[in-house]
Amino acid sequence: MGDSEAPGNPAVPDGNPAVPGGQDAKPAGFVGCDETIERLYFYLDGELTEERRAEISRHLDLCGPCVGAYGFESELRKVIASRCKDHVPEELITRVADALNEEHSRQAN
Ligand SMILES: [Zn+2]
């Protein structure tokens, strides 16, 4: 996790609409795809509590696209870790996030 380069609010992911809408009716405790992908970064870094991990694991059990994303990000993390040590380019993260969002859009339609 590098320092935020964006001058805006760091709590708000860039380009993320406030409420996607149109996707309720999830099982109780089911974490949404967007949230899961955000948390994947922490998940992969081992920075989540066991409870959070359980939520993500449950999501991955039920959501094919996110399983693919997880596998993809796992591999990506290894590459990044071996090459960049402690600096992950913001551009790369953005590109990955875009790719994952695109993947989800395709699945949703
Ligand atoms: Zn998902």
CA of 88 to the centre of ligand 1 (A): 24
**Residue range 20-78, pLDDT digits in tens:** 444 555 566 677 888 887 887 777 777 778 888 888 888 888 888 888 877 877 777 77
User: According to the model, what pLDDT value does residue 1 have?
Assistant: 53
CA of 34 to the centre of ligand 1 (A): 7
**Residue range 66-84, pLDDT digits in tens:** 888 778 777 777 776 776 5
Instruction: Please give the structure tokens belonging to residue 25.
Output: 């009716």
pTM score, whole prediction: 0.42
Evaluate if residue 88 carries a pLDDT over 70.
Answer: no
Q: Any residues with CB less than 8 A from the CB of 86 and at least 6 apart, and which?
A: none
Exposure string for 38-54, b = 16+ CB within 10 A, e = fewer: ebbbebbeeebeeeeee
Q: Contact 60/70 with Cβ under 8 angstroms?
A: yes
Domain borders along the chain are 33-108
